[in-house]
């Protein structure tokens, strides 16, 4: 397959773990230049040091909370000032927080999910899209979810945020017609990352149970799919890719060992 991302500048939000980190590794292996963003700066700095040593590609890291609109604006200004406008933006930073029936939902969990998954994606995109428009090119990939297609019990607000990512991906793609910028979305099913540990507020046993009895996706599987999306020829846009473990037929139907 032709490598079209070599030398391209790719910004990955949430690059300190899981899918974002795996994307950074995949893109570095393809010779892309990376801009890595997360709150845990030590982690992206370690990743930067390792990947620049192993893959010899330019990588810059920035501590950033995508919920902080002012900080995101300053970050965009810094990128513009250093002529580091990304060719490709991967809006990956996101999380589930809690798994409670709606009537017992925790306001802090709700704020965290809405502020990160919806408003964080908006903050980053709204700040960077004008730079990409000025450059006359660009590709945005929003990380949605199977949870943006089917609501499951206790998923309520997380589901709502991923339905919103789906609507925003479609809306951004329409509004950016004529700018040279493509907008894509990838919607994974269950991926074995730190996601469930975050959802269960650090309860590792509860998190491990999510992936029991079947083989989930790994972050590298999703990164390979994202690579396919961003590596598509300029006349092609993969608008949405729904990717699940083979055992996960939909949100409700997961073939687990020992279950009928």
Ligand X SMILES: NC(=O)c1ccc[n+]([C@@H]2O[C@H](COP(=O)([O-])OP(=O)(O)OC[C@H]3O[C@@H](n4cnc5c(N)ncnc54)[C@H](OP(=O)(O)O)[C@@H]3O)[C@@H](O)[C@H]2O)c1
Tell me which residues are annotated as active site: 158
195 is a site residue for ligand X (CB under 6 A): yes
The binder of ligand X chosen from 10, 47, 59, 198 (CB under 6 A): 198
Tokens representing 62 are 């920035």
Q: What's the length of the chain? A: 260
- When the beta carbons of 138 and 189 are compared against ligand X, the nearer one is 189
- Give me the least distance between CB of 146 and ligand X, in Å please: 6
- When the beta carbons of 142 and 178 are compared against ligand X, the nearer one is 142
Residue (of 19, 67, 60) closest to 41 by Cα position: 60
- When the beta carbons of 94 and 155 are compared against ligand X, the nearer one is 94
Q: Are 126 and 69 contacting, i.e. CB atoms less than 8 angstroms apart?
A: no
Binding track, positions 115-134, relative to ligand X; x by CB under 6 A: -x---x--------------
Q: Are 8 and 238 contacting, i.e. CB atoms less than 8 angstroms apart?
A: no
The binder of ligand X chosen from 125, 159, 193, 248 (CB under 6 A): 193
Residue 211, CA distances (Å) to 17, 216, 256 in order: 17, 6, 9
**In sequence order, what are the residues at sequence separation of 6 or more whose Cβ sits closer than 8 angstroms to the Cβ of residue 8?**
32, 33, 87, 88, 230
16 is a site residue for ligand X (CB under 6 A): yes
Alpha-helix residue ranges (DSSP H) falling in the chain: 18-29, 41-55, 69-81, 107-113, 121-135, 156-175, 195-199, 204-210, 219-230
Round to whole Å and give the CA distance between 55 and 246.
32
- When the beta carbons of 253 and 260 are compared against ligand X, the nearer one is 253
**In sequence order, what are the residues at sequence separation of 6 or more whose Cβ sits closer than 8 angstroms to the Cβ of residue 50?**
none
Binding track, positions 221-260, relative to ligand X; x by CB under 6 A: ----------------------------------------
In the region spanning residues 94 to 113, those forming contacts with ligand X, defined by CB under 6 A, are 94-95
The binder of ligand X chosen from 24, 28, 47, 143 (CB under 6 A): 143
155 is a site residue for ligand X (CB under 6 A): no
- Give me the least distance between CB of 52 and ligand X, in Å please: 19
Round to whole Å and give the CA distance between 142 and 66.
14
- For ligand X, the binding residues (CB under 6 A) are 13-20, 38-40, 64-67, 92-95, 116, 120, 143, 145, 188, 190-191, 193-195, 198, 219
């Amino acid at each position: 397959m032709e490598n079209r991302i070599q030398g391209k500048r790719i910004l990955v939000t949430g690059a300190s773990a899981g899918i974002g980190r795996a994307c950074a590794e995949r893109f570095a292996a393809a010779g892309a230049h990376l801009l890595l963003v997360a709150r845990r700066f030590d982690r992206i700095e370690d990743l930067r040091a390792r990947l620049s040593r192993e893959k010899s590609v330019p990588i810059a890291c920035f501590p950033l909370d995508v919920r902080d609109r002012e900080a995101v604006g300053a970050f965009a200004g810094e990128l513009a000032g250093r002529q580091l406008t990304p060719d490709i933006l991967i809006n990956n930073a996101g999380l589930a927080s809690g798994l409670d029936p709606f009537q017992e939902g925790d306001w802090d969990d709700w704020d965290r999910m809405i502020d990160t998954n919806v408003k964080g994606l908006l903050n980053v995109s709204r700040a960077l899209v004008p730079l990409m428009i000025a450059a006359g090119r660009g590709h945005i990939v929003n990380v949605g979810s199977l949870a943006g297609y089917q609501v499951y019990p206790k998923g309520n607000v997380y589901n709502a945020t991923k339905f919103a990512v789906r609507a925003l991906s479609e809306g951004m793609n329409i509004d950016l017609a004529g700018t040279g910028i493509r907008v894509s979305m990838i919607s994974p099913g269950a991926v074995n990352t730190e996601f469930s540990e975050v959802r269960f507020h650090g309860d590792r046993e509860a998190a491990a149970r999510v992936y029991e009895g079947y083989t989930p996706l790994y972050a590298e599987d999703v990164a390979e799919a994202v690579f396919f999306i961003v590596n598509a020829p300029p006349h092609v846009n993969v608008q949405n890719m729904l990717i699940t473990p083979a055992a996960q037929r939909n949100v409700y139907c997961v073939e687990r060992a020992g279950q009928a």
